[in-house]
Amino acid sequence: MPRSGSFSLAFPEFRGATRRLVLWNLIAYFVLLIARLAFPVGSTRALFLLAFVPEAFLHHGYLWQPLTYSLIQGDLLSTLLNLLSLWFIAGFLENFHSESWVLGLYIISVLGTAVAATALYLCGQTLGYSFSGSLLAGCFGGVFGMLAVIGVFYGDVEFLLFFLPIGIKARYLVAIFALISFAMLFGNQRMYAFAELGGALAGLAYVRLAPRRGLAIRLSEGWYGLRNGYYRWKRRRAARKFEVYMRSQGRNVRLDSKGRQIDDDPNDKSRWN
């Protein structure tokens, strides 16, 4: 992957995967905001259903939570900072990669965050430490996963430090956030911090293992490959049935995998005899 030493002062273009991710989170924020005002009691229940609660995911079958929790934002200021960070980081990556690649990286980072939280919950259950009632909400996992990728593969790029007129290389910015998350492991937000580090590792694993054109394209190619393989198998089966039928009629016919007749004698131009 290319490296750059440019100093980034402006937000990237609002397009493609960046626009989708920001708008999804923004729409979800306002929908939940209206729900809180209209249904104060029901909105609390909705928060529990959509946020990621390892206990509910493992024991109550809330299988949608590893994805929906990323759409649950906090107050206005934290939402604004999260969405600005998402715009900046996703837009930067979209300058070098396709829309599907950026979306795949974000989704894998979000899922990796949930997996890390689940692993910590299970370890706590084994060691007798309870994480009951702990929940995750927000797009922090996806943002941190993409930021980790920038720090590792575009480490020489300089950004503004916390929107101040001070430049800092991406690798140092990621190191600062990683140290903050590591320090939080010893506080009351240990599940949040551990999950955030899990999102970063998932994002890096995606970049190492996933195809360059994106996970969605790879999955679609795999699906079409399976479908075409099924059709080829049907043609071979139909060809074998036809061969058996022709032998019952006293004719010896051989077909290849594409259904074309195989001539035993290349000089014999006659067919079906």
Q: pLDDT for 137-149, tens place per residue?
A: 989 899 999 999 9
> What does the pLDDT look like over 79-137, one tens digit per residue?
888 898 899 899 999 988 888 889 999 999 999 999 999 998 888 888 877 776 678 89
Give the residue, 52 or 222, on which the prediction is more confident: 52
Separation CA 236–CA 209 (nearest Å): 34
Average pLDDT, the chain: 80
Question: How far is the C-alpha of 259 from the C-alpha of 257, rounded, in Å?
Answer: 6
Q: Check residue 220 and give its pLDDT.
A: 65
Task: Tell whether the model's pLDDT for residue 235 goes beyond 80.
Answer: no
pTM of the model: 0.72
List, in order, residues 6 or more apart from 212 with CB less than 8 Å away: 97, 101
For residue 215, what pLDDT band results from cuts at 50, 70 and 90? low
Please give the DSSP secondary-structure letter assigned to residue 128: T
Domain chopping of the chain, boundaries: 16-213, 215-273
**Sign, Cα dihedral of 259, 264, 270, 273:** negative
Contact present, 114 and 121 (Cβ < 8 Å): no
Please give the pLDDT value at position 42: 61
User: Which numeric CATH code is attached to 16-213?
Assistant: 1.20.1540.10
